Amino acid sequence: MNELECTPAQVRDELQSEAPPRLVDVREASEWDLVHLEGGRLLDQALLDVMLRDWNKDEQIICYCHHGVRSVQAALYLRQQGFSSVRSMKGGIDAWAREIDPSLPRY
User: SS3 for the chain, per residue?
Assistant: CCCCEECHHHHHHHHCCCCCCEEEECCCHHHHHHCCCCCEEECCHHHHHHHHHHCCCCCCEEEECCCCCHHHHHHHHHHHCCCCCEEEECCHHHHHHHHCCCCCCCC
Radius of gyration of the CA atoms of the chain, in A: 13
Which entry of 65, 72, 74, 89 is annotated as an active-site residue? 65
Active site residue 63: no
* Residues noted as catalytic: 65
